[in-house]
Structure 1
């Protein structure tokens, strides 16, 4: 569980609702189902119109990364790769076949399979870097969907406010309804701006961070497999891979 993501959501709610209450507002004034429908469904509709279905599905699947990112760490991966190199030195590359059968990560499994099958280092690098570039591009497009939704949301919030004001103008003959009507109309703007800046844009940034981290781990796999293919010493492989860690 990513504690920072959870804390961010809680603090955002505390900041908006708490600030509103401190200023003397009420929770009821922030609750407007019509504005919520306009902003949320309108934002989703705009994103559907401008996004391929595969990217939209990918964005939904990766949303869980905001709170539960992939568990692999740099230290764990370095330990695994050094272990592979030690097995390869003792039993040859064919000794890694059992490792391949137990490996669940498809990218790593493919790199090891090419190594065991006897592909040369250049062939492995070319194939795996192409796959990494394609995967990273797709995942970043999925993250950018939330970024684009963050651009639509405030504008649709303004649209909701205008629609609310139209309703207010229809009731000019009854001055008692004007104040509450105008306040309700501007709730749509609050929803639009808040949805964008407190939810959608932070989600996009968090996903980009996770994707960059996953790409770095994949680069470590490539470097490690190539080092094993050229017969490098396990200690040298570990030192090389630790160059990826900057924390």
Structure 2
């Protein structure tokens, strides 16, 4: 569990609510179902309109990474690669089959299998780089739903404010209905800007950093496997991996 993310969400909400209460406001005045419906459902619809459904679902599932990010295995991976390089140098590429069977990462398994099959190193690089590119495109498309939501949300909040003011203008003859319309107008703007800057955009940026780390790990694997395939000295491979670990 990433406690920093949880603390960040709590601080962001506490800061807004505390400032509201210090000015004499009530928490209840910020709870406007109509404003929430306009902003949240409107933003959801806009994002779905620009995104294919499988990509949208993948992006929603990635939300859990904000609070429970994938484990950074680069240190352990570097130790494994050191074992692979020594085994390949002493016993040949067929000795990597044992490590391939015990590995659970599909990308790594594919690379080890290609080495065992004796594929040309140039072709090995092409295949693994194509896999990395496809992975990057897939992940970044999913992350973009949060960035898109951060762009649409404030504008839809303004749309909610205009709708609230229209409601006010329609009921100028009935003062009892003016307060509700004005409240929806202002709270919709708060929801739009708040969702964008406290949730959607921070989530987008956090997921981008996680995806970048995953891509870096695949690039690290690619360089290591290529070095093993070309018969480089394990010491040289170890020094090369140090750059990725830094």
Q: TM bucket by the smaller chain?
A: over 0.9
Partner of 1:190: 190
Deviations 1:87-125 (A, max 9, x none): 222322111112111111111111111011111211110
Deviations 1:35-82 (A, max 9, x none): 111111111111111111221122122221111111133212211111
Partner of 1:113: 113
Q: CA deviation at 1:169?
A: 1.8
Please give the secondary structure, in 2, of the residue aligned with 1:59.
helix
What is the TM-score of this pair, normalised by structure 2?
0.95
Residue 211 (structure 1) aligned with residue 211 (structure 2): yes
Report if the CA contact (8 A) 2:165-2:185 is conserved.
yes
Partner of 1:125: 125
Q: How many residues are matched?
A: 246
Matches within 5 A, 1:83-98: 83-98=83-98
Aligned mates of 1:30, 1:8 — CA distance in 2: 21
Cα RMSD of the aligned pairs, angstroms, is: 1.4
Report if the CA contact (8 A) 1:149-1:196 is conserved.
yes
Partner of 2:58: 58
Structure 2, unaligned stretches of length 5 or more? none
Aligned mates of 1:90, 1:72 — CA distance in 2: 29
Partner of 1:225: 225
Please give the secondary structure, in 2, of the residue aligned with 1:78.
helix
Deviations 1:119-174 (A, max 9, x none): 12111101100110111011111111110111111111111111111222222123
Partner of 1:140: 140
Please give the secondary structure, in 1, of the residue aligned with 2:235.
helix
Please give the secondary structure, in 2, of the residue aligned with 1:118.
coil
Aligned mates of 2:83, 2:9 — CA distance in 1: 40
